A and B are shown apart, each in its own frame.
Chain A
Amino acid sequence: MVTLPTSGESQQWVGQPLQRREDARFLRGTGRYTDDVPHAFALHAAFVRSPIAFGVIRSIDVRPALEIPGVIAVLTSADLGHATLTGFLDRDEFIKTAMPILANERVRFVGEPLAIVIATSRYIAEDAIEAVSYEIDEFDPIVAMDDAQRTPQPIHDEAPDGVLVDLRMFNDDELEEVLATSHVVVDETFRSGRLQAAPMEGRGCLAEWIDRDDQLVVTVSTQLPHQVRTGIAQALGLAERQVRVIVPDVGGGFGFKAVLGREEVAVAAAARILRRPVRWAEDRLESLTASFQGREQEYTVRAGFTEDGVLTGLAADIRCNIGAYSAFPFTCGLEPIMAATEFLGVYKVPRYASRSRGIASNKPPSNAYRGVSRPQIVMVMEGLMDRAADRLGIDRVEIRRRNTIRAEDFPYSGPNGITYEPGSYLEALELCAAQVEAAGWRQRCEEAAPGFIRGIGIANFSERNAYGTATMGLRRMPMTPGFEVAHLAMDASGDVTLTSGTCSAGQGHETTFAQIVADRLGIAPDRIQLRQGDTDLTSFGWGTFAGRSLVIGGGAAAVAARRLAVQLREVAAQLLSVDADDVELVNGHARVRGTGASISIDEIAKTVHFRSHLLTDREEYLLESHGSADPSGMFSNGCHAALVEIDAGTCAVQVLDYLVVEDCGVIVNPLVVDGQVRGGIAQGIGATLYEEASYSPDGQPLAGSFMSYLVPTAAEMPPISIHHLETPCYQTETGVKGMGEAGTIGAPAVILSALNDALRSRDAWLEHVPVTPADIQRLLALPTKMESS
């Protein structure tokens, strides 16, 4: 049980739409990203990458490359002592496989690093890449998930059938009978395409061995400073203390950097072996084809409904194409576990069984991407709702209403073993539906020009986030993420430095964390500086992912601030000769209630530092505190609606308008929340209509630049209006819930729902993303229901 903050009369910074203090430098180009960090003597790394999807390495000859002037070294797996990274879950259903830092014996995807070249410039390094020769005996690659069944050669010998993880976490002996006796059973297969998160800044690092500190200092673009430290230390046989990870500004993470890549380890190893600083900045070709991908999934589901549209039970067979390796530290079990556990979303499903598999393929490994499986499970659940509504002749909003977990059901425990704390699931649905009516979308559907077809989609969903150790422990990773520890120190000027183990990738932590601390110390947010992304500066933490930073990191900061406030009040009480209980911190002052007496917090800070002899009653020196937080995890929720238009002539889809109802508990900064929602929707629209990391049947990547990997631009974005509900969650002191992924989660479901609404006269349904113009053309060419009957 945590103590709630006393609101008092202190200025409430939480809830204010404060401009992000990060924006000035980001927008003016004065941010400092990994490749901006200057180093006069750094060498440049580039990787020799496999052009073959699957094969056995017979030989690698680096000698011609070494003859090129400016080439310092070319290292292969043996030079790195065959170092590996192994991301695994300690469970029977999981087969542990290692990812070599540089390919050893086999290559398993196009782009896999065979060797690292170190040269005096990246230009020379790329010349050297061309001079390295190798012989690879090719196997037939496994590209699609079904290929695994017909190829005799397994990707990993440990898993002859190609299945690296096979979870049967949820079983129900009576489900089959329930489905057999249900009024209707919707039996469908949904698919989603392979994606790449495509942050503006790709991966990159700068590594240098510093003798003075007996340390390898690695500047790296990551969401996980401490986990990168652990991984590098483990792979290179160093103590944790011997690796310092520094993270400057990060130009987008989206889960793509919630991982340790083999390249960063190879660069660190090279710096250590050569005793010279080495840097590497991924180019877009590497980023799109040789880093991490995700989202390639297939769901075969059967959902039973009563005549009234009430769900009776759901059976799901989930398959995730997890690529060639299990990523460190979140493993190839990430997508399958998330999909199986959180499938049921905001709906009451009496009976549930699922099998969830991760299948290896000759593609880059999968890792987290904003939303992790939730975009798919929401697309599936909402697709089932739409199908059932159509089959049963029930309104699409009404069938959702009948199945949604309601206020009186909380705390609700579902067959997935999760207990849901209060949310506004039905309220969000009703508000969203009302907004659709108020916005006149039905009328706008009627008003489509000849040759254009419009439809409306709706999707109601939840987003579980801020997983603490109690929940993460169930996954059985060898290290269990979840807690955060914050430190606060007020200096002699009265300015506060806050450190956190969370690590912004651009989300605005410097602004929002300061708002939380400011309220508790009675000072303005601009007096508070967040320092993050340095393993020598911050306490051990778990970085930034899954909507955890403001909830857990911010929650820890709130505790630390409350404790620092106690110290300030005690010092003020001594200096003013009053009882500390009568002192409150308001507007930069410690004020005695009921009297006019006060002392500025700046003065308190100065006294504590420079005139501590005056504070005879004080046992401690300075003004420092720490706090921690470890919530079990919580559900934000939201409801999205979209108005889309199909141009029958070009078969293009345009999202004309978009509505969001969002409930993430207490809102610390509405500008940041709205920005997260909008950015997420942009990625969701990309996933639904534009982006696909597609491969040829022989495993060659077909999307190697932004000419073929179509990230949507501002021109493709609809207007988005956002409505907020606030159902606080007091697993931490702030009442906030995480919300970074909601936009990405809702958009595919709602756009698919809208397209199926637009195409309802055709007797066919879209059940996959991305939807291409050619898909639309195929459906438009089908006879309408009226023509065929």
Chain B
Amino acid sequence: MKPARFDYHRASTTLEAVALIDDLGEEAKFIAGGQSLVPMMNFRLARPSALIDIMHIGDLDSIQRDGDALVVGALTRHRTLETSTDPTLMGGFALLPTAARWIGHTPIRTRGTIGGSLMHADASAEWCMMARLFNAQLRLEGPRGRRTVAADDWFQGMFSTAADFNELLVEIRFTTPRQCGALAEFSRRHGDFATAAVAVAFDVVDDRLCNVGIVIGGVEGVPVRAGEAETLLEGASVGAVDVDGAARSAAAGVAPMESEPREAAYRRHLVDTLTRRAIHDALATGVQ
């Protein structure tokens, strides 16, 4: 479990990083916290010809408010988000620090970055789910300039994103704050990748749910939205939310990756349970 030979480059600015990768070609890769890439390299499942270390780019580690939006620099560590609980900064995004706590273990969270997680695009990753839940805009820096991709268009398949090889993710802009939110996850062992996870967020206006988002992670190849369940909850009165219906609809709507029927049935059951629990927990956050 030693990586194959690779060259190492260190970039100190975004432009330098992009120029380097454009020059080195498709076999090169950016490395941030390395919490997914390094194990894959050790198994020789990833064999980049060169690594461009972006951790020394100074201005990508920040959390800022821009009106409604929360703007997070791509090199922000999981641990920084986990401990960012200042309500004036995080208003409407209180679920983000909660979600960060589900990422691996503390040593992983102090090294791993939000941008790295979104670039790796594991379907069970908390930031991938949060990006869809809060309609994130992902800003890329490339040799031909900047562009922005909506989270709904970001995930192209398992471990595959809309970013081109020579584009660097620099900023994640969560655009839609919500009053209520919850994440329900299950893994057999503490700290592992979720067997399944369901995130729910909504506003409550005039005692009714609106802007409902439900995202399911770890079950299909990408994090998916439970559109039917969202529709079912939209406009529901707080006191009469059809939790059963939403949970059933979310479970029926997923297509689990498992080929083994028993395992697939179990995942579906889990989605039902976690949807139920996430809705209940999200309603409870509204009560507080």
Chain A contacts to B: CB under 8 angstroms: 122-123, 126-127, 130, 283-285, 649-652, 689-690, 705, 707, 710, 712-713, 715-716, 772-774, 777-778
B44 partner residues in chain A, CB cutoff 8 A? 126, 130
Q: Considering the chains assembled together, what is the distance between the CA atoms of A164 and B236 in angstroms?
A: 67
| A713 contact from B189, B193, B269, Cβ within 8 A | B189
Are B2 and A774 in contact (CB-based, < 8 A)? Answer: no
Contact flags B246-258 to A (C-beta < 8 A → 1, else 0)? 0000000000000
B1 partner residues in chain A, CB cutoff 8 A? 126, 283-285
Are A651 and B269 in contact (CB-based, < 8 A)? Answer: yes
B113 interface residue per 8 A CB criterion: no
- Residue with the highest number of chain B CB atoms closer than 10 Å, among A122, A285, A650: A650
Q: Considering the chains assembled together, what is the distance between the CA atoms of A407 and B134 in angstroms?
A: 69
9 contacts between A and B (CB under 8 A): A123-B2, A649-B273, A649-B274, A652-B188, A710-B188, A713-B190, A715-B190, A716-B189, A773-B195
Given the known interface contacts A126-B2, A651-B269, A707-B193, the answer about A285 and B43 at a Cβ–Cβ threshold of 8 Å is: yes
A121, closest chain B residue (CB): B2
Q: Considering the chains assembled together, what is the distance between the CA atoms of A650 and B193 in angstroms?
A: 15
A44, closest chain B residue (CB): B2
Contact flags B265-279 to A (C-beta < 8 A → 1, else 0)? 110011001101100
Are B188 and A690 in contact (CB-based, < 8 A)? Answer: yes
Are A777 and B265 in contact (CB-based, < 8 A)? Answer: yes
| B2 contact from A122, A713, A716, A778, Cβ within 8 A | A122
Q: Considering the chains assembled together, what is the distance between the CA atoms of A285 and B270 in angstroms?
A: 30
Are A715 and B191 in contact (CB-based, < 8 A)? Answer: yes
Are A712 and B189 in contact (CB-based, < 8 A)? Answer: yes
B30 interface residue per 8 A CB criterion: no
Q: Considering the chains assembled together, what is the distance between the CA atoms of A652 and B196 in angstroms?
A: 13
Shortest distance from the beta carbon of A652 to any chain B beta carbon, whole Å: 7
Shortest distance from the beta carbon of A430 to any chain B beta carbon, whole Å: 36
Are B188 and A127 in contact (CB-based, < 8 A)? Answer: no
| A649 contact from B5, B43, B277, Cβ within 8 A | B277
Range of interface residues on chain B? 20 to 34
Q: Considering the chains assembled together, what is the distance between the CA atoms of A649 and B270 in angstroms?
A: 7
Closest 3 CB pairs of A and B: A715-B190, A649-B273, A283-B1
* Given A126-B1, A713-B191, A774-B266: 13 more A-B contacts, CB < 8 Å: A123-B2, A126-B2, A649-B274, A650-B273, A705-B43, A710-B192, A716-B189, A773-B188, A774-B263, A777-B262, A777-B265, A777-B266, A777-B269
A122, closest chain B residue (CB): B2
B43, closest chain A residue (CB): A285
Q: Considering the chains assembled together, what is the distance between the CA atoms of A556 and B39 in angstroms?
A: 47
Q: Considering the chains assembled together, what is the distance between the CA atoms of A710 and B191 in angstroms?
A: 11
Contact flags B196-209 to A (C-beta < 8 A → 1, else 0)? 00000000000000
B105, closest chain A residue (CB): A713
B186 interface residue per 8 A CB criterion: yes
Shortest distance from the beta carbon of A699 to any chain B beta carbon, whole Å: 18
A451, closest chain B residue (CB): B273
Q: Considering the chains assembled together, what is the distance between the CA atoms of A778 and B39 in angstroms?
A: 35
B158 partner residues in chain A, CB cutoff 8 A? none
B4 interface residue per 8 A CB criterion: yes
A651 partner residues in chain B, CB cutoff 8 A? 266, 269-270
A710 partner residues in chain B, CB cutoff 8 A? 188-189, 192
A689, closest chain B residue (CB): B188
Are A778 and B188 in contact (CB-based, < 8 A)? Answer: no
Contact flags B1-35 to A (C-beta < 8 A → 1, else 0)? 11111000000000000000000000000000000
